Every structure is written in C-alpha cells, then in structure tokens.
Structure 1
C-alpha cells in the first residue's frame, strides 16, 4: 500500500468526528442482531394475541369467534400488503434503510397502544393494520439492510441467524400472551410488547448504515481472504474491516445502488420473466399460508378436543416452548447449509420433512403426541425460510436493476397474500366443516408438497432437475 494511502487511512481512523463504536455499530454481526431482534419482536407482537383474542372477543360478547380471529389476521396482512410496495420503492429510491426502520417501530408501538385500549372489534382491526405496516418495514427494509451490510459469501448464514428471531418470537409469543392475560388481564400482553419494542428502538438507533460507515473507511461487506506478499498490510485492514473503497482491489460483496432506479412496473416485469424468482415467491406464499392458517383455530381446537381454557392453552404452549427452543436453530442450520450446498437442496428437504407431521396433528387421542407433532412440524417449516430468503438475495444479484428491497418487497407481497388468505380459509373451514382442523392440516401438507415439486426444476444456481439431467448424460 502506498504511504499516502496508508496515512490517509490513519487520518480517517483517528478523526474526532468519527462516530463512536463505528466498528461494532456497522459490523454485519451487529446488523444481524438488530434485524433478528426486529423479527423476533415483530413475531412476538403478532403471535402474543393468538391465545388471547378468542377469549377477549367472547368477553366482549361477540359470536363466530374463529371467523373474527381470521379477520383480525386479515387486517394485519392488509396493512402489510398496502405498505410493502411504497416502503420498498422509497427505500431503494433514497437508498435509506435506518429511517424507515425507525418509522416502522413507531407504527408498531402505536398499534400496541390501540389494541390495548380497544373497546371494539373495529379498533382491534385498525391496530392490526398498523402492526402490518410495521411488519412490512422489518421484512422489506430490515432484510435488505442485512444483505447490504453482509458479505455475499455468508449471506445465507447471517440471514439464518436473523431468521432465528422468527422462531424465538413464535416460541415466546403465545405462551407469554396466555400467561400474562390470565394473570394481569387484557392489557398485560401489550405492556410486555411495548417494552420489547422500546429495546428494539434503542438497537435501531445505534446501528450505522454501510453507506455511512464507508465514509470513515469501514466496509462491513468485505469478507477476509487469504493474501500474501505485498498485500499483507491490505489483508490486515480488510480483516479489521477498515478499508476505503479505493484502497481495496477486491470487488465489493454487496449490491451497489442502482444508478438509474427502475419503476415499479419495470421491476415487476423483470421478476415475472424469471422462473426462479416466481418459484421463490410461490414458496413465500405457501409458507405464509401454512404459517398463518393454524393460528386462529389452534386455541379453539385445543379447547374443543381437550377442553383447555385460555390459561391452559398458554400453559400448554409454554410447555412446548422447552423443546421448541431447538426450533430457532432450524433457520441458522439451514442458512449455513444453504451457503455450503445451495438452496436447491435445503429448501425442498426442509419442506418435505414437515409434511408427515401434519398428518400426526390430526390424531386426537393424545395431547402429548399432538405437542410433539406441532413442535416438529414448526421446526421443519421454519427451516425453509433461510434458503428462501437467501434464494431471493441470489435472484436479486442476477437481475440487473432489481435491488434487495425490491426482492424482499415481492417476498412480502407473496407472504402477505398467504397470511391474508390462510387465516380466513382456515377460520371458515373450521366453522363450516365438521372436521375443520383435519381439512386445514391436509391443505397445508398439500401446498408444501406442491412447493417441493416446483423447487426441483427451478430453485438454486444448479436446480436438482438440471443436476439429474447432467448426471444421466454422463
């Protein structure tokens, strides 16, 4: 490295205007923590009312509880869908991630205050809409932020760690909701979620965007590589994450900002022309449908078959949280496997392993067996999220002009449609079909199987069908 470049680097590193804690505040590990926390808080807020709302609606004198619970989830998904596209477009156009994330958290806190004081079902729906808007920010801007700040070599692994927040949120949300509701009443769960959101707010305030950190010579997207000879000093600076762009001969790992942003129509046309992108979005829809379809009817099924009250539902889910602590490992494990072997192997395997447990969930003879099946079904279904989000990042890198926020906005739309339709369909099936829980489980298993079939010819850099053809031609 030339002496002038080295001296310039040292001046930047020792400048009094340099933000405090620049290294850790802009590192991909801290970014992973912040996005993972945001996902966990979002899912806790989403799921904490699952064992609470049916009994609160009964308390307020409503009937047709399963259908009303489904409409509440519909309101959430509606807010998510409406906010997704504007959030993605603004984030990409102005190349900003932090400010939308802070605005989303304000929407989340607002939703919790509204729900906590809701005197009617209509106000509950309004609160869920605000919550959906907040979720759009986490799942679009948050994931795009993580991809911006992470070397492409380890995006799958870091997304897996961040997506562990989803499993942690699902594990904690329902048990805490039922317990707090039975102990402190309807406001109890929402006081808890507001505290969680406050911790999330502090974390988001601390983070520094990569575009800002690069001005101070710190680039979190540079992944350390082995070097020798005259590049020894440069290698040391890369390892430490202190290196101006002009001082590095390595290409940048992250996706650079699009020089001329595409319109929404142009982005959509490019996505529709990519079979790989379309299959990834179908997977997102299926995941959203399966993920949300059981939630509004699970407390009612437990009450109907085993006579569990709101408190007992909370205790049951709390008991399941012990083995489900391993569930948060699913995303990190599949993320690491995706980086190593590719999404074409991991995504179908994870979804296929979830299918048999849907059948066991229909057995009504044993509550412990039901609990085991529910844990394993959730574990393998959650394992599909890391290869899915890593696949979307890979698709974004291969389509000129399509940024991470665009890709995760499309994911959010597909996922949001799934979470919109899922609870409505399951609620109506549970109310109008004698074996509504059985029908819901069969439908979920069938959709997962269809998604597996679609991944074989289209998912990954080398889809399984392509690998099979090449093997047969040898």
Structure 2
C-alpha cells in the first residue's frame, strides 16, 4: 500500500534522489532542531499564566516553580542524552530514533497544553528534555553520516543558524500570540510546526538506505576501508578526509577489502600504528573509550564553558537593564538580540573551520570574548551612549562565542575519527560512535546551561554587575588555554613532528 513511499525490492521510493539528498537531510535536521527549541521557547511567556490560572499556584511561588521546571528539563536532558547516544549507535537507522523523539515532543506539547496540575506539567517537561536529547544527539550524528568529516563544520553552522532563529522567534511570537489570541493559539503554532516536522522526518531517507536503489550513492562509513599509510597521527590535526569517505560496498566486499589491506601492510607500517588494546577494552562502552581522549575532553570542556558564558546573561542581563535603564520585559528580551546576531554567520564560520581547522578559530573566540566581557563593567548610567555601548559589547561577545561553538561541534567529529584510528576497523560498531560522542556534547551543553545562570546569578547578587563580568572574562581567557593546546590534537606533538620532518628533509 505504501510501497510508493517506502519502496520495495523492485520499486524505489518516490522522489528517492531528492529525499536522500544532502540538502534535504540537512533541512530535515535543521527543522527538527528549530522545532525543538521553538516549542521550548514559546512556552516561556505563557508558563506563568499556566501556573497561576490553570494550576492554582500562588503568585509569590511562580519563580520557584519556573526554576524547578527548568531544572527538571535540564535533568531529563542530562539523563536521556547518553541513553539516546547508545541507542542511536546500536540502531540500524538514525530515522527511527528521530521519530521516537518526535513522539515524545508531541506528547509533551499535548501535556503542557492541557495540563492543569503541577504533576502533568512536570511530566511534560521531562518528555521535552527527552525529545531534545534525541534531536540533538541523533540529528548531529546523522549530519556526520551524511556529509562526513570534511564538510561537518559548515553543516554545523546551518544547525547553529536554525537554533538562533528559534531562540529569537519563539519567545517573541509566544508573547505576541498569547496577548492577541490567547493560551491555546500559542500551542496551535507548536502543533503546526510539529506536523511539518513529522512530514519531513517521514519523507527523509538516509543515504545508507538509499544505496539499496542507488548503487552510486556515496556513503560515509565510519572507520572502515581506510589505508593506514594515508592516516595522520590520531592525536594531531584533522584526519585526511579524502580517505574517510568511500562508496558503499556490501559486507562481503567490505570484509574482503579490509582483509586485503591488512595483508598488504608491511612490518614497518604495523610498527608505526598504535598498539592494539586488550580484548577487555572492546567490551567497554564507546563513551568510556571516548572519554579517554584528551582532545575530546578539551572540546567538551570548551562547549560547557561556551554554554556557561552565553546563558550566564539569562540570569543577569534582564535584571541589569531593568535596574539601570528602567526597561520593561520587552526591552529585556530585545537586548539579547545583539548577543545572538553573530550566530547567523554560523555557516561561514563552519566553512572556515573545514578549511583551516577548529583550533585557532575557537581559541580566537575565547580570547576575543575576554576583553569585551570585562568592558561590560563600564556600562553604569542610563544614557544613550551607555545603551549603545552595551549593545556593541554584547554583539562583540556574540562574535567570539560563535567562533567557539561551531568549530567545537565539528571538533567532536574529528576527535571521534582520530580515536577510531587507534583501534581496528569496526571497533566502535557499524555506525561508529558519533551519536554517543554528541550525547557527551549534549550533556556538556546542558551542564553549561545549568551552571552558567546559577553561578552568574549568585555572584551578581553578592558582588554586583562589575565583578560578575570580570569573572566571565577571566573564565573565557583561561578556557582558551586547553583549547589552543588540545584542539586538533596535542600542539606539542605536532611541533615535535614538524621538527622531525624538517630534520629528515635536511638529512636527505
């Protein structure tokens, strides 16, 4: 009945080339990210109403319950991320987990829409956290499957762009629609977007599935069919991506080629490859093996710090502009616009990361953010010049943080591939360990979103605006140190090898 849609042995699905194209898959994942954040964001303006009018919560307890719901969402995201990563890497298809996440998103939206008790709203937030974990973990892994490491930076830029659009539009539209048309109209927007998301996720066909009907389809196979003489040092720089993408082959062909490559290795080549781990390491979860990579840990730390710096303003900026400039909630919301404007250049930053590597882009981002974070302390008076200064400094901080996030998201892919080179082909399984790596990214990001506002709010309450921005600047410059050392592999090993190459060339 649905053979025209899903295909059969004798008949490919309708519009197969378009549905399995890189453009359509990127569009689908970007829409999934946009939908997830948009549904989260449009609820923010109506949540106080839902608590007071529908759940009979006293007005003086609203702030407490909003904080609790934020914590519940963050906890669900943290707990669900590693599970989603493991499930996605074990699954034969990335689309199936994405559809499960969509069901969770639909269920949470229904519960938040009709819920009239704290318990129902809390369960809705838990499901929302689970849905976010699926979208980010599986969606980013699907991006790597689709484009391979050589183009992942620019693709992550598009994902960052969709995220920024949702962050900007969701609270704005949620507040406007709620004021103009009421409570249920806000959720009508959410359900309409979810329907669009359903259509895209159902119509999307992964490249590794499309190869069944399109034998010439190029598929990225994690850690398979790579000649060892073409590899670079696993702890130094990006891997030669020309060797990381190969045409799809049958399991028999894959096994035959792998065997031939192993036989062709000379003794000298074997001697230069890292010593294989014991059998017990192959039984460890991929997450444990990945966490042994200082390169990946550095990337995760950078993501955690970037999220902390960005979300710290959620706790301190609205209060600052209210007390200093007397701005209302509209002004407090619009002041975030300069901070996120730079993220619209995410695809360009990602393209640059693909060309020159993520190390110096991310390092520059943290170094650049430092002085502008500290200079925010100069904003003290309610004058036009001070308001312009605040917006300009926030825009420059946004540029720095954008230079960090997109390259670091790509660096996670590079780090996973580098780690895979130190093990036999297939060590991380058929699908590699991309989903589990991005589950760690999700946890780092969620941790930063929890730590940043909490610590910034506490420091601001005790010491004020100036000391808070000073601490944020110090955190930024300190984080630049491990990023410059470990991003792209150990910089010390790279310099040592460069010296050895120079000496070898001189002797010849």
TM range (shorter): 0.7 to 0.9
Computing the radius of gyration over CA atoms, which structure comes out larger, 1 or 2? 2
Provide the rounded CA distance (Å) in 2 between the counterparts of 1:471 and 1:330: 37
8 A contact 1:66–1:297 mirrored in 2:
no
Tell me whether 1:194 sits opposite 2:191 in the alignment: yes
**Deviation digits for residues 373-405 of structure 1 (CA, Å, limit 9, x no counterpart):** 333323431332221111110111122334111
2:462 aligned residue: 433
Measure the CA separation in 2 of the matches of 1:155 and 1:336.
9
Which of 205, 209, 217 is the equivalent residue of 1:219? 217
Cα distance 1:91–1:243, how it changes in 2: closer, same or farther (>3 A)? closer
Instruction: Report if the CA contact (8 A) 1:156-1:387 is conserved.
Output: yes
Q: Counterpart of 2:482?
A: 454
Deviations 1:211-258 (A, max 9, x none): 2111112524479xxxxxxxxxxxxxxxxx997637x99x99xxxxxx
In structure 1, distance between residues paired with 2:402 and 2:186: 24
Q: Would you say the 8 A contact 1:73–1:419 is kept in 2?
A: no
More off after superposition, 405-414 vs 179-188: 179-188
Query: Could you tell me which residue of structure 2 aligns to residue 377 of structure 1?
Result: 397
Which region of structure 1 is more displaced relative to structure 2, 409-418 or 377-386? 377-386
Change (3 A) 1:429 1:115: farther
CA contact (8 A) 1:28 1:149 kept: yes
Q: Is the 8 A contact 2:141 2:435 kept in 1?
A: yes
Superposed CA deviations along residues 40-78 of structure 1, whole A, max 9, x for unmatched, are 222223334455556876885333765554433222111
Give yes or no for contact 1:66–1:296 (8 Å, CA) kept in 2: no
Distance, in Å, in 2 between the alignment partners of 1:106 and 1:38 is 12
Residues 1:420 and 1:376: Cα distance change in structure 2 (over 3 Å): same
Query: Residue 288 of structure 1 corresponds to which residue in structure 2?
Result: 307
Which of residues 473, 486, 507 is equivalent to 1:445?
473
Q: Secondary structure at 1:276's aligned position in 2?
A: helix
Q: Is contact 2:89–2:436 with CA below 8 Å preserved after alignment? A: yes
SS of 2:211's partner is helix
1:180 to 166, 177, 181: 177
Match of 2:96 among 80, 83, 99: 99
Within 1, Cα distance between the matches of 2:391 and 2:13? 49
Q: Distance in 2 between matches of 1:55 and 1:377?
A: 34
Contact 2:219–2:248 (Cα < 8 Å) also in 1: no
2:356 paired residue number: 341
Question: Is the alpha carbon distance of 1:206 and 1:329 closer, same or farther for their aligned partners in structure 2, counting shifts above 3 Å?
Answer: same
1:194-223 Cα deviation digits (max 9, x unpaired): 322222221111111122111112524479
Q: Could you tell which deviates more after superposition, 175-184 or 29-38?
A: 175-184
Shift of 1:116: 3.3
Following the alignment from structure 1 to structure 2, what is the Cα–Cα distance between the partners of residues 303 and 116?
31
- Does the 8 Å contact 1:73/1:423 carry over to 2? no
Match of 1:327 among 325, 337, 342: 342
Q: What residue in structure 2 maps to residue 395 of structure 1?
A: 415
RMSD (CA atoms): 3.7
Partners of 1:122 and 1:360 lie apart in 2 by 44
Determine the C-alpha separation between the residues in 2 that align with 1:459 and 1:421.
23
1:367 to 379, 387, 392: 387
Structure 2 partner of 1:27: 21
Q: 1:408 to 1:243 in 2, by over 3 A?
A: closer
User: How many Å separate the matches in 1 of 2:346 and 2:321?
Assistant: 28
- Once the two structures are superposed, the pairs formed by residues 43-192 of structure 1 within 5 Å of their partners are 43-50=37-44, 53=47, 60-63=57-60, 68-119=65-116, 123-192=120-189
Deviations 1:13-65 (A, max 9, x none): 99851111111211222111111122222222333445555687688533376
Distance 2:118 2:173 in 1: 22
- List alignment gaps of at least 5 residues for structure 2: 1-6, 222-244, 259-278, 421-426, 504-508
1:92–1:261 Cα contact (<8 Å) kept: no
Which has the higher mean CA deviation after the structures are superposed, 122-131 or 152-161?
A: 122-131
Corresponding residue of 1:413:
443
1:264-285 deviation per Cα after TM superposition (whole angstroms, max 9, x unaligned): 9442332232110111111121
**Deviation for aligned residue 1:357:** 3.2
Deviates more, 1:387-396 or 1:400-409: 400-409
CA contact (8 A) 1:456 1:465 kept: no
* C-alpha displacement of 1:175: 2.5
Aligned length: 430
Q: Structure 1 residue 271 and structure 2 residue 290: aligned? A: yes
Q: Output the CA distance in 1 between the equivalents of 2:495 and 2:110.
A: 53
Question: Which one of the candidate residues 407, 419, 423 is aligned to 2:453?
Answer: 423
Paired position in structure 2 for 1:232: none
C-alpha separation between the residues in 2 aligned to 1:73 and 1:112? 16
Contact 2:81–2:439, Cα closer than 8 Å, also in 1:
yes
TM-score, reference length from structure 1: 0.78
SS at match of 1:80: helix
Question: For residue 358 of structure 1, what is the aligned residue in structure 2?
Answer: 373
Point out where structure 1 has 5 or more consecutive residues left out of the alignment: 1-12, 224-240, 253-259
* 1:17–1:90 CA distance, 2 compared to 1 (3 A): same
Matched, 1:17 2:14: no
Deviates more, 1:137-146 or 1:56-65: 56-65
Task: Tell me the SS of whatever aligns to 2:173.
Answer: helix
Instruction: Please give the secondary structure, in 2, of the residue aligned with 1:384.
Output: helix
